[in-house]
Copies of this chain bind each other. A is one copy, B any other.
Amino acid sequence: KKITILPGDGIGKEVTACGKKVLEQIAECFGHEFVFDYAVIGHDAIESTGDPLPEETLTKLKNTDAILFGAVGHPKYDNDPTLKVRPEQGLLKMRKELGLYANLRPIKLFDELLEASSIKPEILRGADILFFRELTGDVYFGERGRKNNNETAYDTMIYSKFEVERIAHKAFKAAQTRKNKVTSVDKANVLESSRLWRAVVQEVAKEYPDVTVEHMFVDAAAMKLIQNPRSFDVVLTGNLFGDILTDEASQIAGSMGMLASASVGDKVGLYEPIHGSAHDITGKGIANPLASILSAALLLDISFGLKEESETVIKAVEKTLQEGYRTKDIADSSTALEKILGTEVMG
């Protein structure tokens, strides 16, 4: 099996190094052979090739069995909105070119981290949400530009029926293996693309009579996620709303540093933490590698069907937390100083 490591920018490099080590260890323990290669993307790729997703990277990704990705982004571009070539273009193009239309973001709290969240433990306990964020449509990929002498800028929020259908089926099927509930999030009281979204989800829902479907406006969902996270099971939503809500939901898991995601669709699967490149802590050796390690666990499970191997990784994370080890982002006032580890040691 071929695994391509795509470290990207910022802490992406530090955390994927740990994810890779875990995959190597699994290969050794279980007698698999994983062949690794590397490719560049993002700011990193712009610096070395001028292109945030060089042809060479794309070719590699199209010919691999699974991808372990870090993050992209750089403050240089954030501070200068006029730059034309940007790291995120590499990420978006990759998602589109590889047909990665479904981004699965499981939000599950490790019991040991109940106290690390800003939300009250009694609200959190037992929360377990699986987000299906659509990843190759919406305002991320619609036409955009300037008009009116550069005085006006626009982006197009756009969805077609087939795009909603295919991810809706995935979400309903997943709900059948969980608590049989799908909450579809849109803004159908204002947006035409949301009205299409809602109508399609209503249609697809008819094929899953055992699954309860609920439609919620995005503003209400942003509130309810915090107020009552346990009321959600599977959440199905578009690209932009999914971006916002899953970052928010990271607070349910105590820290962004714990959350893994899987992007699947046509063929190859891509696995990445939901956190970003975090340049403020890059190079300090304090980034939490657990999201990347848990992304590796998702990779083993979803792309390779290696359930036991995947479970082994998750249990190892659990055990480490039970033994009291923390990175800085998930430490609390009760954590002993010598149990606060850097990226590499935690890895």
Contacts and interface: CB of A to CB of B under 8 A. Distances in A.
Nearest to A124: B118
A223 B199 contact: no
Contacts of A194: 81
B77 A189 contact: yes
A28 interface: no
A245 interface: yes
Protomer copies:
2
A92 interface: yes
A317 interface: no
A13 B320 CA distance: 55
A244 interface: yes
A226 B199 contact: no
Interface stretch (A17-25, A53-61, A143-151): A143-151
Nearest to A201: B81
Nearest to A219: B247
Interface stretch (A32-40, A62-70, A152-160, A175-183): A152-160
A144 B240 CA distance: 17
A153 B193 contact: yes
- Which of A146, A148, A154 has the most chain B CB within a 10 Å cutoff? A154
A41 to B, nearest CB: 14
Interface string A181-216: 000000111111111111100100000000000010
A199 B194 CA distance: 29
A81 B199 contact: yes
Contact of A140 (B79, B190, B245): B190
A222 B195 contact: no
A256 interface: yes
A334 interface: no
A283 B118 CA distance: 35
A194 B81 CA distance: 9
Contacts of A276: 220
A119 interface: yes
Contacts of A118: 119-120, 123, 226-228
Interface in A83-140: 86, 88, 92, 118-120, 123, 139-140
Nearest to A161: B151
B158 A142 contact: no
Contact of A215 (B78, B86, B240): B78
A248 interface: yes
A127 to B, nearest CB: 11
B191 A155 contact: yes
Given A154-B156, A158-B153, A247 B228 contact: no
Given A78-B188, A153-B193, A154-B193, 20 more contacts: A81-B194, A81-B195, A82-B199, A118-B226, A119-B226, A146-B192, A151-B162, A152-B158, A152-B161, A153-B195, A153-B197, A156-B157, A218-B244, A220-B276, A222-B222, A222-B244, A222-B247, A223-B256, A226-B251, A244-B244
Interface of A: 73, 77-79, 81-82, 86, 88, 92, 118-120, 123, 139-140, 142, 144-146, 148, 151-162, 187-199, 202, 215, 218-220, 222-223, 225-228, 240-241, 243-248, 250-251, 256, 276
